[in-house]
Amino acid sequence: MVRAEKKKVKLINTAWDGIIPALMTGKFDIIMSGMTILQSRNLKVNFCEPYYYIGQCLLINKKDADKYKSYKDLNKKGIVITSKLGVTGAFTAEKFMPNAELRLFKTEGEGGLQVANGLVDAFIYDEPQVRVFAAKYKDKTVGIFEPITYEPLAWAINKGDPDFMNWLNNFLRQVRGDGRWDQLKQKWFVDYIEELAKKQ
């Protein structure tokens, strides 16, 4: 089996609403954390081939499980929805649930906790994270996993570096082909959520 060349990686935590400007000013080389390909973003950065496909999903309080079956049930005045500032969850809520009140937080954890504590009606976010919260707060919340959107996730890099783009895309093809991607998906998208639910 061919092994990818090992590279040292430095992780830099960055506020999401400033993450593209930080990339463009050279604070780091690549955005690898759950960024959806959007045409508006593509005007500023270049995206590699998608590594995963998601949709926006909903987390609701268990007491409302019979009341809310889809996003359409939440598009009403008096409904309060949370999401994270600057993400596609917020854009989706504005587009599909314009009659509801939208409250935005700096982190997804704050939004999910609002639902678990019964302070808002729903949290809208990427499907994997909604599954994490539904497991973490399994006694208080449930997920509505019918996707509202179709979103390819991809790594973002600065424009003008085709060699780096080529290297990254070939790396993605290699790990998909040799089974490592399936192992990572099982570990972080399946086993992790199952273990999280067992601990609660």
For residue 173, being part of any structural domain is answered with: yes
pLDDT of residue 45: 97
pLDDT of residue 199: 80
Is a pLDDT exceeding 50 seen at residue 150?
yes
CA distance 172 to 51: 7
Task: Compute the average pLDDT of residues 92-112.
Answer: 96
Are 106 and 46 found together in one domain? no
End-to-end CA distance of the chain: 39
Is a pLDDT exceeding 70 seen at residue 3?
no
- Tokens found for residue 166: 């080529």
pLDDT of residue 200: 67
Are 27 and 89 found together in one domain? no
Is a pLDDT exceeding 70 seen at residue 177?
yes
pLDDT in tens, 30-40: 999 889 999 99
- How many folded domains does the chain comprise? 2
Instruction: With cut-offs at 50, 70 and 90, classify the pLDDT of residue 53.
Output: very high
Q: Which domain holds residue 87?
A: 55-144
Is a pLDDT exceeding 70 seen at residue 95?
yes
Task: Compute the average pLDDT of residues 41-53.
Answer: 96
Are 118 and 46 found together in one domain? no
Is a pLDDT exceeding 90 seen at residue 4?
no
Are 158 and 189 found together in one domain? yes
For residue 93, being part of any structural domain is answered with: yes
Are 131 and 69 found together in one domain? yes
For residue 30, being part of any structural domain is answered with: yes
Give me the CATH number covering residue 85: 3.40.190.10
For residue 8, being part of any structural domain is answered with: no
% of the chain surpassing 90 pLDDT = 84
pLDDT of residue 192: 85
Are 47 and 59 found together in one domain? no
CA distance 30 to 101: 34
Are 159 and 117 found together in one domain? no
Are 110 and 138 found together in one domain? yes
Mean pLDDT of the chain, nearest integer: 93
Are 114 and 189 found together in one domain? no
Give the H or E element holding residue 124: strand 122-126
CB 51 within 8 A of CB 156: no
Residue 117 vs residues 122, 135, 137: alpha-carbon distances, Å: 11, 15, 10
Instruction: With cut-offs at 50, 70 and 90, classify the pLDDT of residue 1.
Output: very low
Q: Is 78 helix (H, G, I), strand (E, B) or coil?
A: coil
Q: In what order do the strands lie in the sheet with 141-144?
A: 101-105, 80-84, 122-126, 56-61, 141-144
Are 47 and 60 found together in one domain? no
CA–centroid distance for 104 within its chain: 15
CA distance 108 to 124: 9
For residue 149, being part of any structural domain is answered with: no
Task: Compute the average pLDDT of residues 78-99.
Answer: 96
